Amino acid sequence: MNHDNYDDNYIRSILNGVKSIAMVGASPVNVRPSYFAFKYLAQRGYDMIPVNPGHVGKSLLGKPFVASLWDIGRPVDMIDIFRNSSHIMPVVDEALTLSPPPKVIWMQLGARDDAAAEKAEAAGLKVVMNRCPKIEYGRLSSEISWMGVNSRTLSSKRAPIPTQGMRLSLNRMSVGGGATAASDRAAKNKSEPT
């Protein structure tokens, strides 16, 4: 696997194939990147599990924190590692002791451990490094294009505005919808003669 460049179909198959995600390093602090990623993925229908020993006894969006992957007590499809690279191998080692093991090890932006990736892949797991599932989901579902970011999804037709319950290209339902007052004003102003 070339971990410097992932095919969109590889990422899409992972995001479509997993239902439960344990986020190692999740934070209940609402200005932390892990909080935003956790909330976004939960709103897209994923069963999110926050893993952080420093926050046991607290919850994140109604989901209680667990201290380790072993404390989850049920199968998990994907481990999303929100830790720096020096902490990845111990998380992968712990994940490989789970029964059944997860299908995917995902390392967040800035996190990469080629030895841990090789170990996980040798055990039959899919691996993604230095990527954010929130960003990849938004890019592949074209939700991110509504925020003014190039989605690299080419089409001559403008994508529909995501609405409550709308089926997105990743076969998940939108919870929040994508219309904003600013985007509505911009669309209205664009269509009005000046």
CATH number, domain with residue 128: 3.40.50.720
Q: Residue 142 has what pLDDT?
A: 74
Q: What is the DSSP letter of 143?
A: -
Q: Residue 95's CB: how many other CB atoms inside 10 A?
A: 25
Note whether residue 42 is domain-resident. yes
pLDDT at 110 over 70: yes
* Per-chain mean pLDDT for the chain: 84
What b/e string do you get for 106-145 counting C-beta neighbours within 10 Å, with b at 16 or more? bbbeebbbeebbebbeeeebbbbbebbbbebbbbbbbbbb
Average pLDDT over residues 141-151: 58
Question: What's the pTM?
Answer: 0.75
Residue 177 lies in a domain: no
Q: Does residue 162 sit within a domain? A: no
**Residue numbers of the domain that contains 25:** 8-135
In a domain, 111, yes or no: yes
Task: Provide the pLDDT confidence category of residue 177 given band limits of 50, 70 and 90.
Answer: very low
Q: Is position 97 within any domain?
A: yes
- Tens-digit pLDDT profile for residues 26-38: 999 999 999 999 9
Single-letter amino acid, residue 130: N
The continuous run of DSSP H or E covering 79 comes out as strand 78-81
- Cα(84)–Cα(108) distance, rounded to whole angstroms? 9
Do the Cβ atoms of 100 and 8 come closer than 8 Å? no
pLDDT of 189 over the 90 cut: no
With a cut of 70, say whether residue 89 has pLDDT above it: yes
